[in-house]
């Protein structure tokens, strides 16, 4: 079966997931306000934690580009809540333990409850500008590369 994920220059599907804070977050609430960096990560693994901490360190620079980071994991809300507090992550961690959203964006093994790490970068209208997938989070673009993509998006849409 060939996977059909969002293609460059198409709109990503709108979704809503529970956040570590307990409230629900929808991509729709960022429409026309922020570019999005959607990170699909594998959960509490060393490489994933290193990547999340790097994004957190560079978060102010990403926000300066009018972007929001949403990190989606197959873990339950309780695990994400603990991580958000322990690591003081400034961006939302979203839970998708049932795989309601993950398979629309990256490879998902429902039996093993695992995903292939992926990163999407959209403009403020939800149009996909860049998509990356990797065998592990360490192969995804650096926060500096993400910021460069966001700068490019801003140049394309200067208003």
The whole-number pLDDT of residue 44 equals 84
The whole-number pLDDT of residue 151 equals 94
Question: Rg of the chain over CA atoms, in angstroms?
Answer: 14
Q: pTM for this one?
A: 0.94
The whole-number pLDDT of residue 2 equals 47
Fold annotation for 30-156: Glutaredoxin (3.40.30)
Per-residue pLDDT of the chain (159 residues; tens, 9 = 90+): 445 899 999 999 999 999 999 899 999 999 999 999 999 999 888 899 999 999 999 999 999 999 999 999 999 999 999 989 888 999 999 999 999 999 999 999 999 989 999 999 999 999 999 999 999 888 999 999 999 999 999 887 655
Q: Give the DSSP letter string of the chain.
A: ----PPPTTSBPPP-EEEBTTSSEEEGGGGTTT-EEEEEE--SS-HHHHHHHHHHHHHHHHHHHTTEEEEEEESS-HHHHHHHHHHHT-SS-EEE-TT-SSGGGTS-EETTTTEE--EEEEE-TTSBEEEEEE-SSGGGSPPHHHHHHHHHHHHHHS--
The whole-number pLDDT of residue 154 equals 87
Centroid of chain to Cα 52? 10
- How far is it, in rounded angstroms, from Cα 18 to Cα 9? 27
Centroid of chain to Cα 32? 18
| Domains of the chain by residue range | 30-156
């Amino acid at each position: 079966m060939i996977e059909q994920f969002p293609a460059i220059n198409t709109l990503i599907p709108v979704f809503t997931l529970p956040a570590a804070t307990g409230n629900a977050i929808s991509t729709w609430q960022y429409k026309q306000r922020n570019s999005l960096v959607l990170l699909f990560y594998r959960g509490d693994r060393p490489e994933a934690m290193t990547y999340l901490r790097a994004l957190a360190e560079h978060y102010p620079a990403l926000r300066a580009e009018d972007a929001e980071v949403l990190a989606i994991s197959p873990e339950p809300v309780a695990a994400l809540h603990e991580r958000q507090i322990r690591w003081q992550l400034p961006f939302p961690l979203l839970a998708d333990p049932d795989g309601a959203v993950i398979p629309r964006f990256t490879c998902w093994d429902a039996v093993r409850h695992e995903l292939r790490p992926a990163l999407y970068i959209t403009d403020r209208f939800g149009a996909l500008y860049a998509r990356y997938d990797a065998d592990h989070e360490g192969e995804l673009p650096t926060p500096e590369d993400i910021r460069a993509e966001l700068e490019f998006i801003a140049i394309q849409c200067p208003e």
